[in-house]
Chain A
Amino acid sequence: MSIVLVGVNHKSAPVAVREQLAFTEEACAAGLRSLVDGQIVREALIVSTCNRVEVLTETANGQLSDSTERVIQFLSRSDYLPRSLYESLLYTHADDQAVRHLFRVTSSLDSMVVGEPQVMGQVRKAYSIALEAGTAGRILNRLVHHAFRTAKRVRNETGIGANAVSISYMAVELGKKIFKSLKGQTALLIGAGEMAELSARHLINAGVSRVLLANRTEGPAARLATELGGEAVSFDQLSNYLAEADIVICSTAADHYVITEQMARDALNKRRNRPSFFIDISVPRNIDPAVGDIANVFVFDIDDLESVVSSNIRERERAAERAELIVESEIMQFQQALRALDIGPTIGALRQKLQDIARLELTNQRNRLGHLTPEQERAVEALLVSTVNKISHPLLSHMRRSYDGSDAETIQAWRDIFGLED
């Protein structure tokens, strides 16, 4: 048994190639069924996202190169795509390497942005497609579940996904750090840019209950207000609304300070000193930097956000180093689990079967032995069982030793010879 992984990702191939190789959900299921032939390729799974197209297969011993060749050919969609387009961009991993790759992908260590959690959902989706197509069997089931387990461990033990690495999400993260929770808070958007909109959506998802939108021209604000379920407010009334807002996101094209120090001070007084949090993603800046010196007011401009983001990315890289160790230990456990899974029960069943034969013979021949004391009777039974054990021991230990976890046929053969039930 071998596990082979063939594919491209954002590092190995440009998007122009990846998009041609990518599978839709329907193509995925159909492709899986055509790829698995039960001989060379016994099980398969396709992970196709915007950053990667990977085909994971389980194949019989000694068929490694055939199987790889088959997958490469498969990617051409019956020669619809020229192999020269992608062949040199592919990577191929076998066995431990393939397991490692899948574990790293699922744990988001191979992602464009390390630690982003989406990829786990994408692998889960790919797995459910393979399950429905009937191409995920004994080995891949175990492998994928182990990959999820690894991903969970990585997330819980390294905190790799803990800190935001996108500017739009920063508002949520810092907001939670200042306010206990964003539930019931009010956000004010000044200017209706794309980034502001994205931040606002994150804030709403995190529980912000009221969104105010102020824009010079009423149109875009009103549109966005209906879209986000917020209220469009007049730009001239800004100082009034400033006092109501816990979080202010400013992104206008104005070339002057839209929020002056005096406005911020007045708002703070009206708020009875409750802290407020300003995000200025406009260039030139729309919030007077002096606002940041006021106690209980926290101002982040675009540079501040970017430097926090890059320090969080460095934090994630450090976490990724710890994560690699977890991946290595999980690979070892996976190999062990696979090994023990296959041979262990067979050996146990065989030993039991031989002992049962000895006991049955004793019962059948019992009356020929005449009268025995209970001690003598137990001794006879022990004698038989231990003789059987001594004779079968070299055989059983040879089975355990010689089995390398890769040959399902051998095990089945043993089971057939001794008539062991499945």
Chain B
Amino acid sequence: MRSLLLAVLAAYVVAAIHAVLAFINKRRALQRVSELAMLIGFVLHTAAIVADWVIYGHYPLFYFRETVSFLAWTLVASYALVLYRYRARALGTFTLPLVSVLIFIAIITRLEPGGSAETSTISATWLFPVHTTLLLFAYAAFFVVFVTSIMYLLQERELKLKKFSAIFHRLPSLTTVNEIATSSAAIGLTLLTVGIATGMLWSSSRDGRLWHNDPKEIFAAITWLLYLLLILYRSTSRWRGRMAAWMGVAGFALVLFTFFGARLMGGYHVFG
């Protein structure tokens, strides 16, 4: 499926370059090219994921390569949703290059030699794919929270200092980024909660234990707590702005650590 992924990469790279240029030059024509390329990339990408599923016979979210590709897919889907709902084009300028990098990593990563026995036992129940899928979507939502929080902080700072950089005029309004961050955090927390719950159920059905105390689980719990706090904090008042934005940034640091860092410490969760 490498050739299909290469086509996906090409489409995303075109989309990313045009998104960055549209951001710099504020030109709508470039933005349209970017959105069209992204759409083509997304369709091909979906096809690639389905093809993987059919060819390898397991839900294509198990090995590192598959995980990275799937994560890119959820990021594109999230950006498309935000674009549709809020017209916040600036998000693409930051999302699409990352998506391209992820696809590139997926392409250069060799598919681990097939332990089909392993995959079949793990994927035996529907709980495991649900667990991983939900978590990846949660991560994508938290990425959106992160980027919009950064946008909020940058703009709030410039408004307070009354010094506006070139980037200021290219970002969505304070209210818009605040709304995106709030709703994405709520969606992300919901996905994370259900994702963790299905993970526990799956684990208990497998070896009777809900909790293994491995680093990934511990950090996921901390992440979950932090976003819960963020949501509670936001809900106590209609507009929290700055502090909530900092939490959105900190939360994403934890997400990154949970996703990549905990892998290095070993433990029960061996995969991405």
Contacts and interface: CB of A to CB of B under 8 A. Distances in A.
A228 B162 CA distance: 30
Contacts of B243: 295
A295 B239 CA distance: 10
A300 B160 CA distance: 9
B164 A273 contact: no
Contacts of B168: 177
Nearest to B158: A177
B241 A273 contact: yes
Nearest to A298: B159
B123 interface: no
B238 A272 contact: yes
Contact of B164 (A176, A178, A180, A311): A311
A180 B169 CA distance: 13
B242 A179 contact: no
A87 interface: no
B162 A176 contact: no
A245 to B, nearest CB: 15
Interface string A295-316: 1101010001001100100010
Nearest to A307: B162
A174 B162 CA distance: 10
Interface in B115-164: 155, 159-160, 162-164
A237 B169 CA distance: 36
Contact of A298 (B28, B160, B242): B160
B109 interface: no
Contact of A292 (B25, B26, B160, B174): B160
Interface string A266-296: 0000001111000000000000000010011
Contacts of A308: 162, 164
A275 B164 contact: no
B240 interface: yes
B239 A180 contact: no
A178 B162 contact: no
Contacts of B164: 308, 311
Given A156-B27, A157-B25, A298-B160, A274 B174 contact: no
A179 B175 contact: yes
A274 B238 contact: yes
A174 B155 CA distance: 11
A297 to B, nearest CB: 10
A180 B159 CA distance: 15
Interface string B166-178: 1011001111100
A117 interface: no
A160 to B, nearest CB: 11
A377 B64 CA distance: 72
Given A298-B160, A311-B164, A177 B239 contact: no
Given A292-B160, A296-B239, A298-B159, A178 B175 contact: yes
B90 to A, nearest CB: 13
B108 to A, nearest CB: 37
Interface string B24-40: 01111000000000000
Contacts of A163: 169
A180 B175 CA distance: 5
Interface in A178-193: 178-181
A115 to B, nearest CB: 14
B27 A178 contact: no
Interface string B202-222: 000000000000000000000
A300 B237 contact: no
A274 B240 CA distance: 8
A162 interface: yes
A180 B176 contact: yes
Nearest to B243: A295
A273 B176 contact: no
A159 interface: yes
A83 to B, nearest CB: 47
Interface residues of B, number: 26
Contacts of B241: 273, 275, 295-296
Contacts of B174: 177-179, 275
B162 A295 contact: no
B169 A162 contact: yes
Given A157-B27, A177-B159, A298-B160, A273 B173 contact: no
A179 B25 contact: no
B244 to A, nearest CB: 10
A274 B159 CA distance: 15
A179 B28 CA distance: 22
B127 to A, nearest CB: 41
B173 A179 contact: yes
Contacts of B28: 156
Contacts of A156: 27-28
B160 A273 contact: no
B26 A180 contact: no
A372 to B, nearest CB: 56
Contacts of A296: 239, 241-242
B239 A274 contact: yes
A275 B239 contact: yes
Interface in A320-363: none
A180 B173 contact: yes
Interface string A365-385: 000000000000000000000
A176 B171 CA distance: 11
Contacts of A179: 173-175
A295 B241 CA distance: 8
Interface in B219-255: 237-243
A270 to B, nearest CB: 12
A176 B162 CA distance: 15
Interface of A: 156-157, 159, 162-163, 174, 176-181, 272-275, 292, 295-296, 298, 300, 304, 307-308, 311, 315
Leading 3 A-B pairs by shortest Cβ distance = A273-B239, A272-B238, A304-B162
18 contacts: A156-B27, A159-B25, A162-B26, A174-B159, A177-B174, A179-B173, A179-B174, A180-B173, A180-B176, A181-B173, A273-B239, A273-B241, A275-B174, A275-B175, A292-B160, A295-B242, A296-B239, A300-B162
